[in-house]
Structure 1
Amino acid sequence: MRAATPSGTERSTVVTDDGARLTVYTDGPSYAGVTVILSHGFLMTADVWRLQARALSAGGIRVVRYDQRAHGNSAQGRGAMTVDRLGADLVHVIDATTPHGPVVLAGHSMGGMAALTVAARHPELIRHRRPHVALISTSCSRAQLVPGTHPLHWIKAAARASYSYPLCWLPPAADVARRRLPSRHPRAFRPETQHHGDNPPPSRQAIRRTPTAQIAQLWKSLRTYTTAEMLHALDALADRVEIVTGELDDWIPLSQTHELARQLPNARMHEPVMGAGHRLPTDRVGHAAVTQVLNWMAQEGLREPASTAAPLR
């Protein structure tokens, strides 16, 4: 199902094997020689990529973004809310939107974990399509409450624990509390609210319609997730893989970024972007670095012959 929007963005729906309806947003010309597929992070929406989508599509590159299941305009489906499921969703998005031709995969935070899961669980896709891959502010190991040793990190960890533990163990009570939050609060629970805009809803509206139990299930999965020792197909892509992070990332510590680089010794790890935090695609000083890396990878893709590969499913 597709619908062109006044903004030039084409909105469509990809239905997964478990019935989840993923809302997809496509910018740029359909005849472009390369497609950049962007996967967003935990409690965000495809809107986090708005600066990159605007810049890349203006340069004639096709850009595909989507709301992760149970985020933004996408429904959950029947499957469990796990990182493995998000990786399977990404395979569906690739097959449905870009069955042929050069492709760049970029994942931020949890979206990067989804891309790593594709490499670990669906290595045949990586070998068959040979995408360029950008791993941005992400990790191959479980999410941590304490991202570093700075005293401020411990304060932030305490704040995260104050809501993550009730969220995981008392979802019904959390739903009651969320219903009483002001309507503009990013964690407010308003299941009847719909986003009617042409573009992705703002990230602050990512989980307005998502019950706490689903968020808790995903958080528990993030806390146990790992793709370590399972990334051989991705490492074989060598210099087609870029690792980018911010110097001040307070969610994914640099130690985890270095571990990811050790798992992918053939990848290119960039120097951390000075002064930039975790939300790199929209960071005041970091967004330009993300756009530059994606544009360079897309230009590299344009130099390659169009693939005649058929969808894998």
Structure 2
Amino acid sequence: MTGTERSTVVTDDGARLTVYTDGSSGGGVTVILSHGFLMTADAWRIQARELSARGVRVVRYDQRAHGNSAAGEASPTVDRLGADLAEVIHATTPRGPVVLAGHSMGGMAALTVAARRPELIKSRRPHVALISTACTRAQLVPGNHPLHWAKAAARASYSYPVCWLPPAADAVRRRLPSGHPWAFRPFAEHRGDTPPPSRQAIRRTHTEQIALLWKSLRTYTTAERLSALNDLADQVEIVTGEFDDWIPLSQTRQLAQQLPNARLHTPVRGAGHRLPTDRVGHAAVTQVLSRMAETALRESESADAEPAHLQGEGA
């Protein structure tokens, strides 16, 4: 992988999104990667390394209020994350073939772009990978197994205090060991061009911002608003893990029902929710993105080679 280039995209509400670009700009196709809740762009480190080594340009970024990205003036909602993703696309890849991949909350951001900005989908016609994500609200209980109920109880034990007592949560977080993923160190910053590890995702984020985003995840939906994405047909692929304990398979099937023209992969055997870094699932994600990049580049080269009069007839 060539050196990672760090830059900043400033959104219309003043959020400063830290962007990391790997690979050569002459690669012809760009893969844009959007990460999940309480993670950073480092979640895509395997894909960034392997794709850029194959000559693909890779753009990944820390979501607002995550990693090295600031929160901005607007309330952190899934809709706002979708607007951020659209701005990252415009700022980093204004032209050329694009592959768009979103994991979990990052996939919800991509779905929000399709729902709120269908003209962007229609004009750029990206290949889209929806990884371990859903078109409806996040659920505390991802299934009926007793273990899922136990995990739901554990999540509720911290999500409710986070949502309803943010100042108290901040006070507790300041006293946590520096290595703890919930530790609050508002002035800490990860140095260097590469993104901070996911365990440092919310090190500088006030609990109120986390709470607002979690509440948005609990009410979010793009159901019945995905026609622009469905029109891309086989350019859209849905990937999940067999043992996903955040997005239940019922939600994956619901997403597939909203996108009947998309390709629904068989769940990756033995894989959990964090597919991009999962011990079993990361290879499947890399393979899907690599194939999408090759196809997008081939289609672009074919369109460029097509005689002008034929392009006009197809318009």
Which residue number in structure 2 is paired with residue 220 of structure 1?
Answer: 215
**3-state SS of the aligned residue for 1:162?**
helix
Would you say 1:41 and 2:41 are equivalent positions?
A: no
**3-state SS of the aligned residue for 2:26?**
coil
Q: How do 1:103-114 and structure 2 match up within 5 A? A: 103-114=98-109
Which residue number in structure 1 is paired with residue 309 of structure 2?
Answer: none
Which residue number in structure 2 is paired with residue 311 of structure 1?
Answer: none
TM-score for the superposition, normalised by structure 1: 0.95
Task: State the 1:304 CA deviation.
Answer: 1.9
**3-state SS of the aligned residue for 1:280?**
coil
Which residue number in structure 2 is paired with residue 202 of structure 1?
Answer: 197
Two-structure CA RMSD over aligned residues (Å): 1.2
Match of 1:139 among 134, 138, 151: 134
Amino acid at match of 1:234: L
Amino acid at match of 2:104: S
Q: How do 1:7-86 and structure 2 match up within 5 A? A: 8-86=3-81
**3-state SS of the aligned residue for 1:302?**
helix
Structure 2 distance, partners of 1:7, 1:169, is 45
**3-state SS of the aligned residue for 1:19?**
coil
Would you say 1:158 and 2:153 are equivalent positions?
A: yes
Task: State the 1:126 CA deviation.
Answer: 0.4
Per-residue deviation, residues 212-238 of structure 1 (Å, max 9, x unmatched): 000000000000000000000000000
Amino acid at match of 2:153: A
Match of 1:260 among 255, 261, 266: 255
Per-residue deviation, residues 154-203 of structure 1 (Å, max 9, x unmatched): 00000000000000000000000101111100000000111112200000
Structure 1 distance, partners of 2:28, 2:40, is 26
Amino acid at match of 1:89: D
Task: State the 1:7 CA deviation.
Answer: 6.5
Would you say 1:149 and 2:144 are equivalent positions?
A: yes
Contact preservation (8 Å) 2:2, 2:23? no
Which residue number in structure 1 is paired with residue 110 of structure 2?
Answer: 115
**How much identity, in percent, do the aligned residues show?**
80
Contact preservation (8 Å) 1:7, 1:198? no
Structure 1 distance, partners of 2:230, 2:180, is 41
Would you say 1:178 and 2:173 are equivalent positions?
A: yes
Contact preservation (8 Å) 2:2, 2:52? no
Which residue number in structure 2 is paired with residue 229 of structure 1?
Answer: 224
Amino acid at match of 1:209: R
Structure 2 distance, partners of 1:161, 1:305, is 47
Which residue number in structure 1 is paired with residue 97 of structure 2?
Answer: 102
Higher mean C-alpha deviation, range 287-296 or range 186-195: 186-195
Structure 1 distance, partners of 2:199, 2:241, is 21
Structure 2 distance, partners of 1:304, 1:17, is 33
**3-state SS of the aligned residue for 1:135?**
strand
Structure 2 distance, partners of 1:197, 1:272, is 36
Please, which runs of 5 or more residues in structure 2 have no aligned partner?
Answer: 305-315
Contact preservation (8 Å) 1:33, 1:102? yes
Contact preservation (8 Å) 1:49, 1:282? yes
Contact preservation (8 Å) 2:2, 2:22? no
Higher mean C-alpha deviation, range 46-55 or range 189-198: 189-198
